């Protein structure tokens, strides 16, 4: 059975009593903005298209290093050696000196703040023996994370035609870092890093803004253009946004700032369903109770713009009748939250209580009644 709930009436008052809807457009080639808690897409532009991530690739290098820290394989105090390969690596650098040693903690800061390609190679060689082997490990992690449109050829993001990802995969990776390693995520908020008496400043220049940005990473090559992925927490709402393919630093700063502002100003949080809320009742065959409440498992809060508030609806389906025995918490149906212009959100409908099976004689009578009266 399939049925609908029209939720839009809940939000009609808001639609006529809020500020004019903020529209959004951008010169960035690839864009994605999501609500961290619900994975709700707030804005998307070619987010599934292949891009060259440049130094945003370093998020995977850091994830693997954080994972090694978390598993006790290395510690923040451990020191890694600077090889000739690392010392000679082109591009951004922390100015690591040949045949010296640098602590893991300083390497993390050097990757986050200075975007040091030399620091990435030092980490790759220490953890995997070579940068080539480390790139294979990066791809293994990507596979495990479900980053199906990504392929890594090096630890730093230096251009390679076979080194690519998508905005969607970058946002997924950022969310894994924040979720899996909250104790290390704070490194991304560092504003500066000094090594060999040379101080460099974080290229994520909106860390100092009032947007609540506390990470993550910028990127640039001549092939990729200027890009940035950020995470922002404000008023208990965390957003992750990425923009790529821009022409210069100023344009990158402007577009990511506009995107995050759009997320906070154009959307408001609303409670759609509460934990254990009953959605409907469904008939049960051969059960000691004839009707089973269908419930949602968790609170569902969504960020909605004005068209979303006006047009939101829920469509849910289940098979009827269900057969006893049924255990509370069993998945017995599904629901799609439909929001105009957004990707549908799917949730499970669960059994709201236990229903035991009746004995043979009672079950026979119930079966006879069901077949006799099922079309009435």
| Residue boundaries of the structural domains of the chain | 23-266, 272-373
The backbone region for 298, taken as left when phi is positive above 0, alpha when psi lies in -120 to 50, beta otherwise, is beta
User: What is the per-residue pLDDT for 285?
Assistant: 86
The backbone region for 245, taken as left when phi is positive above 0, alpha when psi lies in -120 to 50, beta otherwise, is left
User: What is the per-residue pLDDT for 215?
Assistant: 95
Tokens 């993390």, located at residue: 108
Class of domain 23-266 as given by CATH: alpha beta
> The whole model's pTM is what?
0.82
What DSSP string runs through 58-77?
Answer: HHHHHHHHHHHHHTTSS-TT
pLDDT digits (tens, 9 = 90+) for 247-273: 999 999 999 999 999 999 988 888 889
Q: What are 261's two structure tokens?
A: 């502002």
**Residues 170-184, mean pLDDT to the nearest whole number:** 98
Q: What are 296's two structure tokens?
A: 């949602």
User: What is the per-residue pLDDT for 12?
Assistant: 37
> Please, what is the angle between helix 58-70 and helix 117-128, to 10°?
40
pLDDT digits (tens, 9 = 90+) for 84-95: 999 999 999 999
3-state SS, 303-372, equals EECHHHHHHCEEEEEECCCEECCECCCCEEEEEEEECCCCCCEEEEEEECCCECECCHHHHHHHHHHHHH
| Separation of alpha carbons 180 and 167, rounded Å | 20
Instruction: Specify the range with the lowest mean pLDDT, choosing from 8-22, 45-59, 147-161, 336-350.
Output: 8-22
The topology under which CATH files domain 272-373 is Peptidoglycan synthesis regulatory factor (PBP3), Domain 2 (2.60.410)
| Separation of alpha carbons 352 and 224, rounded Å | 51
pLDDT digits (tens, 9 = 90+) for 293-318: 999 988 888 988 878 888 888 888 88
- Under DSSP, is residue 111 helix (H, G, I), strand (E, B) or coil? helix
């Amino acid at each position: 059975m399939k049925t609908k709930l029209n939720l839009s009436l809940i939000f009609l008052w808001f639609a006529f009593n809020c500020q004019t809807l903020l529209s959004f457009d951008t010169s960035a080639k690839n864009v994605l903005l999501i609500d961290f808690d619900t994975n709700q897409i707030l804005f998307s532009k070619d987010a599934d298209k292949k891009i060259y991530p440049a130094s945003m690739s370093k998020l995977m290098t850091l994830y693997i290093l954080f994972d090694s820290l978390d598993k006790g394989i290395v510690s923040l105090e451990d020191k890694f050696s600077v090889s000739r390969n690392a010392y000679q690596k082109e591009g951004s650098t922390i100015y690591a000196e040949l045949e010296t040693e640098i602590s893991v903690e300083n390497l993390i800061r050097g990757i986050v703040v200075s975007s040091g390609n030399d620091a990435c190679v030092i980490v790759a060689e220490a953890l995997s023996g070579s940068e080539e082997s480390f790139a294979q490990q990066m791809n293994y992690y990507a596979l495990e994370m479900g980053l199906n449109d990504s392929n890594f050829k090096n630890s730093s993001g230096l251009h390679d035609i076979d080194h690519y990802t998508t905005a969607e995969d970058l946002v997924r990776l950022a969310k894994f870092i924040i979720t899996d390693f909250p104790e290390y995520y704070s490194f991304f908020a560092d504003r500066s890093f000094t090594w060999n008496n040379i101080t460099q400043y974080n290229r994520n220049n909106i860390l100092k803004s009032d947007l609540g940005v506390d990470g993550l990473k910028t990127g640039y090559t001549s092939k990729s253009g200027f890009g940035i992925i950020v995470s922002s927490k404000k008023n208990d709402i965390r957003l992750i946004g990425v923009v790529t393919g821009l022409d210069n630093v100023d344009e990158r700063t402007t577009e990511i700032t506009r995107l995050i502002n759009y997320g906070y100003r154009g959307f408001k949080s609303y409670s759609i369903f509460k934990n254990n809320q009953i959605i409907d009742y469904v008939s049960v065959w051969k059960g000691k109770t004839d009707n089973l409440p269908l419930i949602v498992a968790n609170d569902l809060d969504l960020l909605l713009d004005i068209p979303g508030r006006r047009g939101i609806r829920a469509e849910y389906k289940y098979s009827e009748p269900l057969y006893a025995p049924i255990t509370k918490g069993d998945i017995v149906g599904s629901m799609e939250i439909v929001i105009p212009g957004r990707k549908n959100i799917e949730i499970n409908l669960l059994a709201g209580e236990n229903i035991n099976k009746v004995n043979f004689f009672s079950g026979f009578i119930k079966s006879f009644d069901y077949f006799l009266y099922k079309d009435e």
